[in-house]
Every structure is written in C-alpha cells, then in structure tokens.
Amino acid sequence: MVKKGLVLIWLLALCFASGALFWYNDWQYQLPTPIPKNYHPVNTGTIIHLDSGFTPTAGKPVFLHFFNPDCPCSRFNMAHFKSLVRQYGARVDFIIVVMSHKTFTAQVIRDKFDLHLPVLFNASLATSCGVYSTPQAVILDGQHRLYYRGNYNISRYCSDEKTSYAKIALAGFLDNRPTFAFSRLALKAYGCRLPGCGN
Amino acid sequence: MDNYLITYHNPALPLVLGIKKLSDRLMNYFLAAYFVLGIVFALFYDTWLIAFGVGGLSLLAYYSARVFLPGSDLYQYVLSAVLGVFMAQYIYQMHGLFEMHFFAFIGSAVLITYQKWKLQLPMLFVVLIHHSLFGYLQNSGFTNIYFTKLNYFDFQTFVIHILLAAIIFFICGLWGYLLEKYSALRISQTLEMAELQKEAQLSAERKRNEQVLKNANEQLRVANADLETARHAADQANEAKSIFLATMSHEIRTPMNGVIGMAALLRESELTDEQRMFTETIVTCGDALLNVINDILDFSKIESGNLELESGDFNLRQCIEDVLDVFGARAAKLQLDLVYQIDEDVPLQIVGDQLRLRQVLINLVGNAMKFTEQGEVCVGVHLAKTGHGDILQLKFTVRDTGIGIPADKLSRLFKAFSQVDSSTTRKYGGTGLGLAISEKLVRLMGGEISVISEPNLGSTFSFTVSTQTGSSILVPYTYYSMREQAGKKIMIVDDNATNLTILKRQFEHWGLQPVLAGSGEGALSILDGDHTIDLIITDMQMPGMDGLMLAGKLRERYPGIPVMLLSSVGGEFKTHERELFVSVMSKPIRQHILSKQILNALQLKAAVPQDQATLTKKLSTGFCQKYPYDLLIAEDNPMNQHVIVHILKKLGYEPVVVKNGQEALEAANQKDYDLILMDMQMPVMDGLEATKLIRQTLVKQPVIIALTANTMAGDEQVCLEAGMDDYLAKPILLENLMNKLEKWHRDGVLV
C-alpha cells in the first residue's frame, strides 16, 4: 500500500514535469526575437530598393516574404504564405527572400513552396526593410515604399484570422484602407533571429 | 499450491496471465514506436525538447509503474494515460495538425489487446481534463493557450468532442470486454469439452472394463460350471467309494461273522487236541484276516475322508493297560518285559477317540514285539506341551530293544504297503498298512509320528496327540487309597532296570518307600542290613536266582515279610510254591491290581473285596440266569442266524428268530420281547423301518440292538435316530454281545 502510494506520488511528479516542459516550450515560443545590437529601425514610407535581379511590375505592390528554411517558424508559416499567394498573387508581386547561411538555389526554394516566385538571396534587403527575424512579411506599395513590416500572426499556428496581421495589412492596402494601426503583437518580431535561427 | 488453488478457482487465470504477458511485450514495441514518432515529428518544427522530454517522461512513468508494482494493474492505467499524453505531444509538435488526433484512436485500439474496458478510462480522462481545462482557460481570456479556433468555450462543441471521444473509447472498451468474455467463454467451453472428453474416455474405459469383467465373469461361470461338474463327479466318485466301502464292509464282514462265530463256537465244544489245534488255527487266521480287512477298510476310509474320530472322555491308564493286556500272553511267551509309564503331570482323563488311540498303540506295540527278540518294550506317556484352556499335547513313546531300523529305510516306514525290507514280509509278515494307518490316524488326532532307531539296539516310535483334560464323570478306574500305608518300605527285586524305575516312581507317588534290588542275591544282602522292609515284590524271571528261589530263601530267613510275585501269564505253580507268595500278579501289571494287592499284603485283614473269578470258559448257561431276557433275533442270513442262536443258547437263552423286518414287527406285536437283535439289511423290510414301526406301535417297548456289518461314520447315528438303543458291529464278538446283554439288563430295562 505504501509502495503504491509512493509510486502514485512519483507519477504525479512526472506528470507535472511533462506539463512544465510544455509550458516552458510554449513560453519560449512566446518570447519576442531579441533585437540585434546594431539594428536600425526602418519607418513605414521608406523607399526600399529591391534587388537588381528582380524586375517588378510597375505600379504593383510587392510582398516580401523573409524566409529561412532552417527556421521552424518559417517552415510552419509556409502554408499560410502559400494561401496568401493563392489569394493575392494576381494583384501583388510576391517575392521570397531567403535568409540563410546555407546555399540554396532558387529552384530548391520554389520547390519547397511549390510556387513559381522570384527568389532573392540578398541579406541586405532585410536590413533595408528593418527585418531581423523570420518569418516576416514586408509589404511595399506600388512605389516600393514600406507599407507594412511585421509578423504574420499573433500565434505561431497562424490560423487565427483576427490576428493574421500580414493578411490584414495586405487586404487593407489592396482595399485602399491604409490607415489602421497595428499592435505591438503585429510589429514586434517573433521568430528566428537572423542570420542563423537561434530562437 | 497457491497457483494451483488460484488456477482451480479461476481456470481462466493462465489465459489472463498469458494475455497480460503478450500485451506487455506488444506495448514495448508500440511505446518504442511512439517515442521514435515523436522524434520524427520533432524534425518538422525542431520540437526536440518536447520529443525527448515529454516522450522520455511518459516512458519513464509507464516502466517505473510496471517495475515497481509488477503484481498490480496500475501500469496498464498509466499506459492509457501515457498514450493520451503522446497524442497531445504530437498535436503540439505538429502545431495543432488535426490529424494527430487519430492517435487517440490508435491508442484506444492498442489498449484492446489487454481485453480490459476500464483501460479506456484514463485516456478519456486525459482528453476530458485537457479539453475542459484548456477550454476554460481560453474562455477565461488566457491568450497564450492555443486550443481551438474559437476564443471562447463552446459547450456544444465540447460536448460533441467528448461524446465522440467517449464513443470511440466505449467501442474499444466494449471490444476489449467482449474479447475477455469470449476468451472466458472459450475457456469454459474448452474445459467443458475436456470434461466431456474425459467423461467419454472414462465411459469408453468403463465399457472396456465392463467387457473385460463380462468376459471374466463368463470365464468364471464356465470355470464354476466345470468345477461344479468336477465336484459332482468327485462327489459321485466319493459316494461310489463310500458305497463300495460300505458294501464291501458289509459283504466281507457278513461271511466273516459266520467264520469267526462258528470257530468260536467250535472252540467251546469238546475237541481232541488235534481238532483244538485246527480250531485255534481257524480262530487265529480268522482274527488275522479280520485285522487285515479292518486295516484295508480303515485305510480306504481315511483315504476317502470317511473316517471321523470319536470325541469322548476316557481313562488313559485303562487304555494303555488294555493295550498291554492284548500282548501280555505273547510277551510272556517271548520272555519280553512289557511295561508302561505315565508321567505324573499327564492327566489321566482325556478327551479323544479311545478306540483309535488304542489302535495306534496296538500297532506300535505289536510291531515292537514283532521285531524284538529279547529285552523289553516300554510304553511311555509324557506331557509335550500345554496350550490355551485345557488343550494339551501328549507324547506317546513305544521303545523297544529290538533289531532296529537302518537309517536309510526310515523314510519309507510310514508309506503304505512299504516294509523295511522285502525279506521282512517273509520273516515277519504284515501288509505294510499298519504304520501308514497309524500315521494317518495320528494326523487326524492333531499330532505327528516319528521314529528314531539304531540297528541292533532298538527303536523308539513317538507320536503326539492333541487333546484336552476330560471333565465328564466316568465309571471310575478302580483306585485304592494308599494313604494309610504311607511310609511303608517296599523292596522291588527285578533284573529289568526299566521295571525297577517304573515301580519306584509309582511307589514314591503313593507315598511308599521303595528299596531296589537288581537280583535275588542283592535283595538278600539288603535285607541283611535293613530289617524294616514291609513287603517284597519280586520278578519271576531273573538270572541266577529266580523269583521262586528267592521266595523260598525269604520264607526261611524272613517269614514275617510278605512276598508278591510278578509272573508271566501261563506260569503254573505247585501248591507249596504258590503258598510262598501272598499274591501272584500277571504281567503287564495293571496299576489298580498292583495297588489292591499291595494293600492286601500290607494289611492283616483283607480290606478289599475280591473280584469275581474270571470265567475259565466264557460261554455258560449261568449268564442267562443272571441276565434273563425274552430275545427276538431278526436276521436274514441263515449262517448268521445259526451263529447267534448257538451263542445265545450256550448262554442259556431261547431266542426267537425271524428273517426280515416285517416278521419282526409281527412277532413283536404278538409277544412282549425284552430285547430284539435287529439286523440292518434285510429283505421285505429292513431293520431301520421295522424299528420305526415298532416304536410307533408297541406299548411296551423292547430294547433294540442293531446288528450291522456297516461301520461307516454316521451309521450308528442312523440307528439311534431310527429308534434303536444300541449297536453291535459284525462280526459279533462274544464278549461284545455279553457286554451288551449285561449292560441293558443293568441299565434297568427289565426292572
């Protein structure tokens, strides 16, 4: 009887330990990405010069998807990005900006997304846009002025429509409703640090 | 023993334990797969901490419960909870991928292997608690929990989720429950089947055994029938043998009766010396022939099991003395000493068959005398051993100083028709049946017979008899009290040491003082020194100075001392020689005669009445005056009629003779007879029938004595049951007839 009691106590302890692990992991996910020391914020309205390797369509907004194949958050976000491309691909130029120390070919990246999109490997573009984590969405208007730079969603599961910030921004821009403010949750980056995924 | 008891009470236990063992082994593989799966899922979104941490803790929980409480089912319930946690882990690792919920079904299905519906409950509780808690938290506005798309608790959704989960768990639980039931059912059916098979086997075995038994019974029946047939045949053979013996006994004895009877009558008549010699030869041969016939018939009776021993009280001393009387004359003729000695501790009244004991002793003493040319024959009776109650074993010895028997011939002695030497038959005669019959009679008397012998020194035949002390009141052996003569000195003069010893012991037993002398000269020399001798008993035949010469000398020197003589039968004395002795006793000496004569000699006046003088001739007409009878004789054989009528006429009777039972009945009805001698086997009406009718019809009942040649066991009883009073065996011996006439007259028939 005593032995059974001790075993039950032991099991309870293990149960709490499991719960603690889940809680810790979730807490880790909810921590914002640390801002780099030499970070220069880029204000909205700043003209962003794109890579010479890309020829934008005149007057079409540009959606830059900062993506790191090694970042789990980036990987999880892929489905959501693809849904945005499917929804707004005709009206917006979507570009994938790969942020990684590893060498990938554009085709490899395209295969990952199963989308024929331009792929840029220019890491300075992140600095130009004020991006320091992945995944991050940057929306440029027709004149390539920074309209939105921020998270895709409040939660990493990216399925909450109410907090689907990138989508909201894009939809608002395309609907000519540019003047609404985003909360800290949209603008404070959560995700993997650049250049390597250290989160 | 405990396992047996547990198994006995729960025959499904081995199966249950087997299921548990098998399921546990299966779980090892499943849990390993679950853990690996967690690692695989970790590849997607780098959830390594969750994969190893939560997965490892889950496995730790399961195996620690299993190891620390092996006898308990707790670890199975922990397993159920762990499978639920793994599902939650996968959902978390795959960031809410709904398909991960399928692991609930997988886990639920895996638990069926334990065939316990209750194991579904922990997983259900995990799901319930998880959904309830997270739903509540989210509903409370806790934004950091991802649970559902909705940011509020929808009760309907919750209920549907829980119900669906419950249904899944219920179905799996039901499946497990039914499996268990089916297993138990299968087990009980298997057990029933095993029982039935066992019953069938037992039934088959029983049938086989029944068949075997039936066959055995049949064989037994057949064997019994055969045995019955054999027994019937044996009985018939036995009956035929008995009839043969009875018939032969009758057929032989009837003419023998004529021969011996006529020879006896002839002997009583006036004869010349030559005629007397012829007559004696006929009588002797007749007796010898009768003895041979009796031996043969006895042997046949014993062999066929028809001989039964009598059991009655009799006086042992009288029996021994009767035997010695038979050989007294011969012993005197052969100049052999014939003596006997009975130990003091031997009871003198015993129970047994006096006739057969006498027969054995007569045979042994007869043989001893036959093969002894000089010396003595001594009969001894000793107490061999005592048993419970009055049962005792007596040992009889017959010792002789004869020719002896070689050791290699001893084994053939007791075999029928066997002689020590075939030349013995020519020299000594005999059929070779005597010892064989004696051996069989001794066995019937519960004893054994044996012999020790030294050639030229003599033989000692010994036999034992099981008997008991008699208690019936017998006609007392004549006994004279020597109490008043106690202390008197008696000198015994005899050259035979055995005789001296016997007489010495007898006198000491009577309280007398014996003084022994081995010769006449020795006696005289003792008397010279001892003047207190009260009586002298001397043997006749002694070397040197015989008894007569000694008596003469004693009359001269010691006229006041009475002298008694021990003489052989037949010795004749002149008057002056006879007057030397106060009494002359014949050998072998009977104890009561010795005691009587000693008393007479020691007392001044005769204290004891003299016995009647024995008849010089047996047949005398005075017998009829003493024992008068009206006699009727029923006898069909003319020869036998003649014999018995002559004997009775010699005794002074005038008997009436009839030749069958019918005539006897008519005669008895016409006249009152005192005694009827009734032959058994007669034409028209036999003796038994006639007796029965006489008993039924007559007012004054006569004494009826059966005359019969049948001497089989039971014949006497048949006669008595028919109403007869007594029994006379043929051939009729004169003395027996006279004794019967005397007996029935004395018994008060006529008064």
Look at residue A197 in the predicted model and tell me its pLDDT: 45
> What is the C-alpha separation between B583 and B610, in angstroms, rounded?
12
In order, the DSSP letters of B617-646 are SS--THHHHHS---EEEE---HHHHHHHHH
Domain of B732, CATH number, reads 3.40.50.2300
Asked if residue B239 belongs to a domain, the reply is: no
Per-range mean pLDDT, top range of B22-26, B347-351, B506-510, B664-668: B664-668
pLDDT at position B146 is 55
Residue B259 inside a domain? The answer is: no
Higher pLDDT, A155 or B233: B233
- Evaluate whether B685 touches B661 at the Cβ level (below 8 Å): yes
With contact defined as beta carbons under 8 Å apart, do B110 and B83 qualify? yes
Query: For chain B, how many structural domains are there in total?
Result: 4
From chain B, the residues in CB contact with A22 under 8 A are 50, 54, 92
Residue in B372, B378, B397 with CA at minimum distance from that of residue B458: B372
**Average pLDDT score over residue span B354-361:** 90
**Residue B210 included in any domain:** no
User: Does A31 or B276 have the greater pLDDT score?
Assistant: B276
Residues B644 and B708 in one domain: yes
Q: Let me know whether B562 and B629 are in one domain.
A: no
Residue B704 in contact with residue B723, Cβ under 8 Å? yes
Binary contact (A72, B45; C-beta < 8 A): yes
**What is the DSSP annotation of B689-705?**
HHHHHHHHH-SSPPEEE
Backbone angles phi, psi at B523, to 5 degrees: -60, -45
Measure CB to CB from residue A14 to each of B60, B95, B151 and give the nearest one.
Answer: B60
Mean pLDDT of the region B714-738? 82
* pLDDT 10s digits, B596-655: 788 878 874 334 444 433 434 456 777 888 888 999 999 998 888 888 898 898 888 999
Q: Whole domain around residue B734: which residue ranges?
A: 622-746
For B630, the token pair is 């009206």
H helix runs in B530-579, sequence order: 547-557, 575-578
Could you tell me the residue ranges of all domains in chain A? Answer: 1-30, 62-193
Give, in order, the Cα–Cα distances in Å from B5 to each of A116, B2, B8, B10, B184.
76, 5, 5, 8, 18
* Whether pLDDT at B480 is above 80: no
Of the candidate ranges B177-191, B235-249, B387-401, B424-438, the one whose mean pLDDT is the lowest = B424-438
Residue B41 has pLDDT above 90, yes or no: yes
In a domain, B575, yes or no: yes
Residue A25, strand partner residues: none
Residues B447 and B318 in one domain: yes
Per-residue pLDDT reduced to its tens digit, B486-524: 888 999 998 888 888 888 888 888 889 999 999 999 999
How many CB atoms within 10 Å of residue B200? Answer: 10
Cα–Cα separations (whole angstroms), residue B718 to B148, B687, B689, B690, B722: 128, 11, 11, 13, 6
E strand intervals along B506-587:
513-517, 535-539, 563-567, 583-586
% of chain A residues with pLDDT over 70: 85
Q: For the residues A168-190, what does the mean pLDDT come to?
A: 72
Q: How far apart are the first and last CA of chain A?
A: 47
Q: Which of B570, B602, B634 is the last residue of a domain?
A: B602
Question: According to the 3-state scheme, what is the secondary structure of B437-453?
Answer: HHHHHHHHCCCCEEEEE
CB atoms within 10 A of CB B86: 25
Token reading at B386: 């005592």
CA distances (Å), origin B674, targets B191, B668, B722, B750 = 96, 10, 18, 7
Contact A157 B146 (CB under 8 A): yes
Give pTM, 2 decimals: 0.43
Within 8 A of B91 by CB-CB distance, chain A residues are: none
Tell me the pLDDT band of B39, cut-offs 50, 70 and 90: very high
Provide the pLDDT for residue B675.
93
Note the pLDDT of residue B5: 44
Only one residue has tokens 């549907």, namely: B160
- Average pLDDT (B124-151) is 72
Residue B257, in any domain of the structure = no
A62-193 maps to CATH 1.10.760.10: no
Q: Answer yes or no: do A3 and B92 touch at CB < 8 A.
A: no
pLDDT at B265 over 80: no
Least confident stretch, B324-328, B462-466, B472-476: B472-476
In this prediction, residue B9 carries a pLDDT of: 56
Nearest-by-Cβ selection for B85 from A6, A18, A30:
A18
Lowest mean pLDDT among B103-112, B164-173, B208-217: B164-173
Per-residue pLDDT at B542 exceeds 50: yes
Over chain A, what is the mean pLDDT? 81
Lowest mean pLDDT among B214-228, B235-249, B275-289: B235-249
| Domain-located, residue B631 | yes
Quick check: B481 pLDDT over 70? no
Of B50, B64, B145, the CB nearest to A25: B50
Are A118 and A54 in contact by the 8 Å Cβ rule? The answer is: yes
The pLDDT value recorded for residue B594 is 84
Q: Which residues in chain B touch residue A4, judged by CB atoms under 8 angstroms apart?
A: 69, 72, 74
CA-based nearest residue in chain B for residue A197: B46
Token pair in block for residue B292 = 């041979």
Looking at the complex, report in whole angstroms how far the Cα of residue A50 sits from the nearest Cα belonging to chain B. Answer: 30
Determine whether the interchain pair B45/A159 forms a contact, defined as Cβ–Cβ distance below 8 Å: no
| More confident of the two residues B348 and B57 | B57
- Give B98 to chain A, closest Cα distance, Å: 12
Question: What is the rounded average pLDDT of the residues B142-161?
Answer: 65
B204 lies in some domain: no
pLDDT for A182 equals 65
Residue B738 has pLDDT above 60, yes or no: yes
Q: Which of A14, A21, A76 sits opposite B95 (nearest CB)?
A: A76
Residues in chain A closer than 8 A to B95 (CB atoms): 76, 156-157
Chain A hits for B53, CB-CB cut-off 8 Å, are 18, 21
Tens of pLDDT along A11-27? 999 999 999 998 888 88
Instruction: Say whether B149 and A25 touch across the interface (CB within 8 A).
Output: no
Q: Which of B44, B50, B65 sits opposite A21 (nearest CB)?
A: B50
Which of B169-178, B251-260, B341-350, B368-377 has the lowest average pLDDT? Answer: B251-260
At B474, is the secondary structure helix, strand, or coil?
Answer: coil
Q: Which of B313-317, B514-518, B691-695 has the lowest mean pLDDT?
A: B313-317
What are the phi and psi torsion angles at A90 (to 5°)? -75, -25
Task: Find tokens 């005359």 and name the residue.
Answer: B707
Instruction: Count CA within 13 A, CB hemisphere, residue B690.
Output: 32
Higher per-residue pLDDT: B712 or B55? B55
Q: Cα distance from A65 to chain B (closest Cα, Å)?
A: 19
Which of B268, B246, B314 shows the shortest CA–CA distance to B465? B314
What share of chain B has pLDDT > 90, as a percent?
A: 31
CA-based nearest distance B175→chain A, Å: 28
Tell me what pLDDT residue B663 has.
Answer: 94
The residue type found at B172 is C
As a whole number, the mean pLDDT across chain B is 83
Q: Cα separation of B181 and B148, whole Å? A: 40
Same structural domain, B487 and B462:
no
* Residues on A contacting B at a C-beta cutoff of 8 Å: 3-4, 6-7, 10-11, 14-15, 17-18, 21-22, 24-26, 30, 72-73, 75-76, 154-157, 159-160, 162
pLDDT above 80 (res B555): yes
pLDDT-derived band of residue B11, with 50, 70 and 90 as boundaries?
A: low
CATH number of the domain encompassing residue B319: 3.30.565.10
In a domain, B543, yes or no: yes
Q: Which residue has the higher pLDDT, B460 or B249?
A: B460
Could you read off the pLDDT of B61-120 as tens digits, one per residue? 999 999 999 888 899 999 999 999 999 999 888 887 888 888 988 999 999 998 888 999
Place of tokens 């509540």: B136
For residues B593 and B650, membership in a common domain is answered with no
- Among B126-135, B368-377, B598-607, the range scoring the smallest mean pLDDT is B598-607
Q: Which residue among B153, B184, B205 closes a domain?
A: B153
Neighbour tally for A4: CB within 10 Å:
13
Confidence of residue A125 (pLDDT cuts 50, 70, 90): confident
Q: What is the pLDDT of residues B220-233, one digit of tens each?
A: 999 989 988 888 88
- Mutation target vs A (from B34, B49, B57; most A CBs, 10 A cutoff): B57
